[in-house]
Amino acid sequence: MKKLFGAAAIALFIAGCTAASPIDTAHAASPLLLAVDGQPALTPLHPFHSGGILYVPVRVLLEYYPCQLIWDNVRKQLTLSDISSNTVLTPGSSAIQITYTQTDGSNEEMQEGPVIVKDGHNYIPADTLYDLTGAESKLETTGNTVSIVPGSVSTTVRVPKEPLAVAANNSKIKLYTALKNGDTYKGFILEVNGRKQTFNWSAPRIYNSPPELHYADVDNDGKPEAIVILTRGTGTGIVAQEVHVVKPELWKELTLPAADKAAATAVTSSLAIHQKDVLIRLEVKGAEPSKLTLRLPGRATDNGLDYFGKQAGIGAVTYYQVEGGKLKAETSVMVGMQESIGTLMLEYKAGGKGMELGSIKFEPDAAIKPNMEPKQG
């Protein structure tokens, strides 16, 4: 069945008169359990099998999805309502009419099976949770628990049991989200050797760029820190990350300058036209060599530097990493319309009040041949 929702929720209108399948009785003596984000569901209702199909209570949506359930006793219909759409469930039917708040609806067919009423409660096929909300559901290998992992437009009412990240070199260092609210992680919980502490960081839920967790002595004081790297956003020519360094024995977060800001204070640049070429001059404090001239052959135009600008831009693409016990960063140097000319490589060190920039160097893109001037002074 094709996915029915977009960035916001989608809704279903279920109509028809197909009779519901009889409920299998084989599981009556040992009811299935229901878990959301690795923890027991709040609803006391149990999943079950009917006609070979795994069913879950509709009410479980309230535990991770931002909607309201409204029962129409006259029509005998249950409406799932959110900010963008309505879903009307009619027991015994598999027909679906999608109704959006601001656009026209459409008709679909719920392939998994019809809505079932059991003991006065509505149940839907477990696979339909994905179509409605993006949630993944599966029967665990133990055979007695149906596990639901909410999707990107979900929220949760509890701290998820499963960590978002575990440090590669120490399985006792874990990172959890305090709350998943739609497409945002709101708050994080850091666990170090069984101790936990909450931090009010927030970050988008980007599935191909999940939070990273490292454990290393990046300030060289003999005690390892927990380093959390969060991706703030991605796009064409843009990657934004932020880093948090925490001393777990004190639950103290060390201050440090963001890579783009640290680089901007250490690098000066200017652009000029030389005949048909564009010249880019960079001066990097403390680097060897400290001065470079980059040439873009044949790129000068009648408009001069209107396209390229008068200075290079720093920080459109920024990555952090922990390597060899050091906290490092890479941040881009660009001209014009996000045209890369190279990367600034940063390494942090311990400072007076936290972490500070230790070293920085510029690496030009392979296609650009720089003229490097010797360090002055």
SS (H, E, C) 106-137: EEEECCCCCCEEECCEEEEECCHHHHHHCCEE
pTM for this predicted structure: 0.67
Rounded Cα gap, residues 367 and 369, in angstroms: 7
Q: In the chain, which residues have pLDDT < 70?
A: 1-29, 95-98, 100-111, 152-153, 157-159, 289, 302, 371-377
CB contact at 8 A, 186 and 195: no
> At a CB cut-off of 8 Å and minimum separation 6, what does 107 contact?
95, 96, 97, 98
Which pLDDT value is given to residue 97? 57
DSSP designation for 180: E
Which pLDDT value is given to residue 372? 57
Which pLDDT value is given to residue 86? 80
Which pLDDT value is given to residue 98? 54
DSSP designation for 61: G
Nearest Cα to Cα of residue 21 among 60, 49, 57, 50: 50
Which pLDDT value is given to residue 309? 87
- 3-state class (DSSP) for residue 260: helix
Which pLDDT value is given to residue 21? 41
Which pLDDT value is given to residue 100? 63
CB contact at 8 A, 246 and 225: yes
- Taking the alpha carbons at both ends of the chain, their separation in whole angstroms is 69
As given in the structure block, the two tokens for residue 129 are 């949770």
Q: How far is CA 29 from CA 1, 40, 83, 144, 145, in A?
A: 32, 19, 40, 12, 15
Sheet harboring 136-139: ordered strands across? Answer: 39-40, 33-36, 145-149, 136-139
